[in-house]
Structure 1
């Protein structure tokens, strides 16, 4: 097989040896366009997460697996957080999900379809990739580049890069089945099965296939809702216990498949292709709707019971919506055939179940080779699509009255990306020094689509005139006005040079030009250096600029809903619209511009002969013109009339709006430490790995974001995190112990700061000579929880954004077979 060892390509780069002790001795390709090199020889900090790091955990969600291995990586469960609970946003170094570029086999991966309309801190308004679609069983290793790399890879690579390198064995079979359960409550379990097979493809190729299927039950860490307790006290039947569950979402029918194929066309040319398919259904509980707390369904914003029918408001509209009045009001309205209230039909309240079927598919095909003069080339094309078909069950469109359905199809989000790349690498022997020249060309298109939901999910029904809200309660359907397709194309070119002035000193530089439809062009650069002071000690550093281009979804997506104005008690159309929509531009909106960043990284590397290694890196990332959702602006009658006169009749649809805008600047700085030590002892081989991250973000300039948003951006996740992992192998036994600590953080839903907490994990595996392996383990074996934040008014026991979750101990077993 031809292994084209160049940055644009991931061939069959392997570890230096089979008995790697820690990450320092691994070979990586991310972060450079020269020949792959060991981590300790890299000019920028890179972590290697091997397949065993994923296998030594219980779950099957890639986001959680990375969180346990990379301290600067953050993800939380986001219960009851709309789309953020279904496709969870992830943060590297405290920055937004779309500040981290995701690659597969060193090729850009498409972003997800979800725009985080309602999320926490830096994730608000972001549209990042769906890494949960990647099965861990297909990954040979993951490379985490902790450095800005937009000049090398393009938009989004501000916080860093995640590169998933797929398995490429041409033989072998591996099977695995997992079962795990939380100890606090029965029925909260997760199961998965996975398989990987490598096949020879002709005499000079491979075809490697991976498959994974998983399911996980929802968890519940709630207290009973105060209103539900009151309803039970009144003797109302069928009140749910708990009325509002808080916990991890339900995941059904999670299917993931990956194919990775390569075949030599000649001694110097190779055809390669890889693809990924995934689908899963995810659902979570919304807030409990009781007759005492839900405007537009049971009551008015003035806390009076809501009633429909001619003259009914005059007869019953002054009754306070309290538990004390509920039973008498219900009996009265039931006896009056001309009047209607949902207290008659749904006195027990209801809790919407919001969810979606998320599908993801991608594929890349390319040809690469090497000419006789040493020039290496790679031409590839790829396409990726992520779609979300949303539903809202066990709810109502109150404006349809007693005839309202209970289940609704909300509509679809779809994101589609296409890429064409041509790259060349030419190593030049200058005698006393080596020069590596790389250049490339890219054409990329992003397309975002909103498909309208079923009519009953968004229509304004006949009961609207009595004050009942329209659209499926909890999450209104996408109406035809909000639907549409938007795209944006760009072309890019880059030049990348690396030179060794001396045997111990390397200097690298890259410059990249990109031109985008709509807002023009941007040019970025990067400089990096590595200086070896001795056989075991080196200094490294980098500086450069970066950017993140706004997505077509952020520039154009619309989300229109009907709400009740709390002051006037009148219904109004409130929406999120594109910044260049005529209504937005009348309020100050403008074409979104790229976010621009400046980054600096300075570090030291120690790699001793005794198996000990240590890297320490300081970093800073300053971002200007970050994209955020604006405040809510009223659309006055004057604006409506002026726009209608100018030929924009739909201006009449809006009462208040918000839109994406380049709004604020941030400075982020921190320190990463990675230390490892591997040794042989009387019991076999042992490894000890310590990784530490501290990251601080400060909002240094903003025009309209609130003080609460600023606090979320600065303190919405732990500033400090560290992991300590010990692994001991002897005979046929393998033992892993891991401790992960999460520092203090602020939770805006609870409105309070919370103390840090740590989780301890243990795992024991026995490998039989036949290829069978049995594993027993426990995550959070000491059953630790975050500090409580009990709120009986909404049923919450723990803070919503607990960085390591709030589910307690998880015990699991795995059975694997390989040959």
Structure 2
């Protein structure tokens, strides 16, 4: 690697930091020994009041009937990551957030899993309101969460977040469909108090000199209305985030370059790593007091992410290539544009009878555009003599509108010793999934344009040239469409302290979907305080998840590796003739049961520990079939393999969560905060209801996420300094092949990762330098026997790696608070 190559991205990464430092030099007028700003890590404890998993107004983390984590901005910003999913992955042992490569739209929208379950079994809330899912369907055969349509966590700017509450328990009876594995509730910053405004510039670079990233983010609040009486009636906050991240390259060039490019001696023909990403986000939230007992509130979030990712190299001699255009072959690229919008408007208040009420409407939409560059439609070129190399391949849209009415009140019932919180309400939800066709050249296919010499006795007509824009053929008009549904729900929730030691909660919910029928969910929670410092807690619940509109209606043709060969693979709706001929049936909703039993121990204000065991069973799980080999015909788009969604079977997940926190007052040497957390998780398939769900697909459920994950974190707060260390152990993951003799299986070894950062607080400024993966750890290299994922073209790491494969990342941050 040349010094020039290293200097350019390094300069780009550190430019914002230089600007902030110059601004500091020009404005610094206060003494260096001024009192440093308070660090929110120093105030974290089990006495924080929570709003997730309970309708009571004064329930704390320690008193919660269900296991819950509370993460502060200091926790979230303790690593070099600038998106929410990456931050959560370094903090929560029960959450997995892999970094796949050459995975089409998954390079742009990465799925997060909780407790090893599907990404769409996690419900995401923002300020307690249901957040919309992305338009992407995870259709690839080698990725975690295959078949899901998850929420894109990266659309929520970190700078807007006050804290995050992660409920590690089934909560479908409280929040509705999708809350099988748990709930992630992102609580936004409120108010316009001085000192809560901040601007941060960040920059970083990978140890190999690529993957440079720079950005600026911040949050500013203002008062609304007349503040002459001492307090303004309203407030508004603006949060923004801009990030520019360059791509990384971790492919290993092969020595058989003469078969790849005949006129070039060496060429990095494969690109394997993180994509290039440009992120632009802005979020406004507000509150305004209309009367002493009524408040108007809401938020508006808008963002765009442009992602350029790579496909597989097309070799010069293959029928897919047009040597007149690409004499050495070509590397097609996907350019995804993800535009995301979310808005909430509500009014809440208190009636004369002390009923708390909340009426709100929210709307969310994700628009995912697929453009293809450096590609070609070989069939179009051989048919007409020309083809574009840049294509608009189509647009996916997912829309959600929700109206909620929630009421709650504390009652004193004579036969109970303590007040009872009664909550009930209703919800109406409208969803729409849209597929817009690409330009004609992106999906053009003429089955009569035959590859010369391709006729065989079994195929006397010969094989047509591949059609469509290569790496991602465009959406054809026959695949496009608009699909919608409505749902209604009503719930009731009771919670009380039955005695000084025993707390209880009961919830029930009824939901009706226009396309999936109706269901009833329930939950019972208990907590018993055995001593002043030790308590037991447990929950029993059942859940429900309706198949998403994307799972029911997504249809496309993509190019995937199948047995080491690039193959056109069609994904078909269950209602299509091709899928029906292969055995497809209408999808049924997933049903689940959830049991948890845990303990809370807090012998002192400075030490606490929780241990929670759980079992989750899911029936009729909605998943993709294997890629079934089919005979290419004009009716199926000349694909060589087909797949579709199916209710694949029943799974059982068992696990344990452990969390311990200890704060040490070191007197003149500051304070030390220590956290130990861990997760053991094991999913077992109890029943497979279709022969089209083979061993390799089953492995993505049972072995593709770490069975164990442990995090040890420490923060030493000493005068102006904050020293942070984070050690994470990721357990083994295994990629299963479909052969029963396990000859294609590969287990990737456990890995320890160390993250270090140090911050210096000077008046209203904080300077941070750090490194993620300090010891430059990489995952086990992939075996070429595992041809279902890798081939000997230099793709040396598996996309199943739970921490990616980029190596050490250096970064710096400068924050100004005002």
TM-score, with structure 2 as normaliser: 0.86
- Structure 1 gaps, min length 5: 1-16, 299-341, 641-648
- Quote the Cα distance in structure 2 between the aligned partners of 1:546 and 1:475: 36
- Aligned partner of 1:303 in structure 2 is none
- Aligned partner of 1:521 in structure 2 is 518
Task: Kindly indicate whether residue 200 of structure 2 is the aligned counterpart of residue 176 of structure 1.
Answer: yes
1:508 CA drift (Å): 0.6
- Quote the Cα distance in structure 2 between the aligned partners of 1:225 and 1:218: 21
In structure 2, relative to structure 1, the CA distance for the partners of 1:169 and 1:228 (3 Å cut) is farther
SS of 1:95's partner is coil
In structure 2, relative to structure 1, the CA distance for the partners of 1:437 and 1:398 (3 Å cut) is same
- Quote the Cα distance in structure 2 between the aligned partners of 1:250 and 1:101: 28
- Aligned partner of 2:154 in structure 1 is 132
Deviations 1:746-796 (A, max 9, x none): 135984101110111111111112x11111111111111112236572211
- Aligned partner of 2:762 in structure 1 is 768
- Aligned partner of 2:188 in structure 1 is 166
- Aligned partner of 2:272 in structure 1 is 246
Pairing 1:317-396 to 2, within 5 Å after superposition: 342-396=322-376
Deviations 1:377-431 (A, max 9, x none): 1000000000101112111100122512111111000000000000100111235
Q: 2:213 aligns with which of 187, 190, 205?
A: 190
1:227 CA drift (Å): 4.7
Q: Is the 8 A contact 1:446 1:551 kept in 2?
A: no
Q: Is the 8 A contact 2:695 2:736 kept in 1?
A: no
1:461 CA drift (Å): 4.9
- Aligned partner of 1:420 in structure 2 is 403
In structure 2, relative to structure 1, the CA distance for the partners of 1:256 and 1:563 (3 Å cut) is closer
1:564 CA drift (Å): 13
Q: Is the 8 A contact 1:469 1:564 kept in 2?
A: no
1:622 CA drift (Å): 0.3
Pairing 1:478-493 to 2, within 5 Å after superposition: 478-493=475-490
1:657 CA drift (Å): 4.5
- Quote the Cα distance in structure 2 between the aligned partners of 1:561 and 1:198: 46
Task: Kindly indicate whether residue 234 of structure 2 is the aligned counterpart of residue 205 of structure 1.
Answer: yes
- Aligned partner of 1:544 in structure 2 is 541
Task: Kindly indicate whether residue 132 of structure 2 is the aligned counterpart of residue 107 of structure 1.
Answer: no
In structure 2, relative to structure 1, the CA distance for the partners of 1:347 and 1:164 (3 Å cut) is same
Pairing 1:450-461 to 2, within 5 Å after superposition: 450-461=435-446
1:98 CA drift (Å): 0.3
Q: 1:708 aligns with which of 684, 691, 696?
A: 696
Deviations 1:34-81 (A, max 9, x none): 214211100000001111112211121211111011111111111001
1:803 CA drift (Å): 0.8
- Quote the Cα distance in structure 1 between the aligned partners of 2:173 and 2:224: 36
SS of 2:477's partner is coil
- Aligned partner of 2:252 in structure 1 is 223
Pairing 1:352-751 to 2, within 5 Å after superposition: 352-401=332-381, 403-430=386-413, 432-461=417-446, 464-466=449-451, 467-560=464-557, 575-581=570-576, 583-585=578-580, 587-631=582-626, 657-681=642-666, 682-702=668-688, 703-704=690-691, 705-747=693-735, 751=745
- Aligned partner of 1:645 in structure 2 is none
SS of 1:400's partner is helix
Q: Is the 8 A contact 1:114 1:413 kept in 2?
A: yes
1:554 CA drift (Å): 1.2
- Quote the Cα distance in structure 2 between the aligned partners of 1:36 and 1:591: 45
- Aligned partner of 1:273 in structure 2 is 298
SS of 1:718's partner is coil
- Aligned partner of 1:325 in structure 2 is none
Deviations 1:645-666 (A, max 9, x none): xxxx989999974321211110
SS of 2:135's partner is coil
SS of 2:257's partner is helix
In structure 2, relative to structure 1, the CA distance for the partners of 1:562 and 1:90 (3 Å cut) is closer
- Quote the Cα distance in structure 2 between the aligned partners of 1:725 and 1:615: 16
In structure 2, relative to structure 1, the CA distance for the partners of 1:259 and 1:469 (3 Å cut) is same
- Quote the Cα distance in structure 2 between the aligned partners of 1:633 and 1:517: 31
1:522 CA drift (Å): 0.6
- Aligned partner of 2:7 in structure 1 is none
- Quote the Cα distance in structure 2 between the aligned partners of 1:599 and 1:487: 30
Q: 1:95 aligns with which of 104, 117, 120?
A: 117
In structure 2, relative to structure 1, the CA distance for the partners of 1:727 and 1:123 (3 Å cut) is same
Q: Is the 8 A contact 2:746 2:783 kept in 1?
A: no
- Aligned partner of 1:283 in structure 2 is 308
Q: Is the 8 A contact 1:671 1:695 kept in 2?
A: yes
- Quote the Cα distance in structure 1 between the aligned partners of 2:440 and 2:660: 58
1:20 CA drift (Å): 5.1
- Aligned partner of 2:99 in structure 1 is 77
SS of 1:518's partner is coil
TM-score, with structure 1 as normaliser: 0.86
- Quote the Cα distance in structure 2 between the aligned partners of 1:572 and 1:245: 19
- Quote the Cα distance in structure 2 between the aligned partners of 1:38 and 1:487: 40
- Structure 2 gaps, min length 5: 1-38, 226-231, 452-463, 738-743, 785-790
Over aligned residues, Cα RMSD in angstroms?
2.6
Q: Is the 8 A contact 1:464 1:470 kept in 2?
A: no
- Quote the Cα distance in structure 2 between the aligned partners of 1:460 and 1:563: 18
In structure 2, relative to structure 1, the CA distance for the partners of 1:574 and 1:500 (3 Å cut) is same
- Quote the Cα distance in structure 1 between the aligned partners of 2:782 and 2:631: 41
In structure 2, relative to structure 1, the CA distance for the partners of 1:508 and 1:610 (3 Å cut) is closer
Q: Is the 8 A contact 2:41 2:75 kept in 1?
A: no
SS of 1:64's partner is helix
Q: How many residue pairs were aligned?
A: 739
SS of 1:451's partner is strand
Deviations 1:271-297 (A, max 9, x none): 1011211111112111111135x4x41
1:120 CA drift (Å): 3.9
1:365 CA drift (Å): 0.5
- Quote the Cα distance in structure 2 between the aligned partners of 1:124 and 1:420: 31
- Aligned partner of 1:788 in structure 2 is 781
- Aligned partner of 2:787 in structure 1 is none
- Aligned partner of 1:319 in structure 2 is none
SS of 2:441's partner is helix
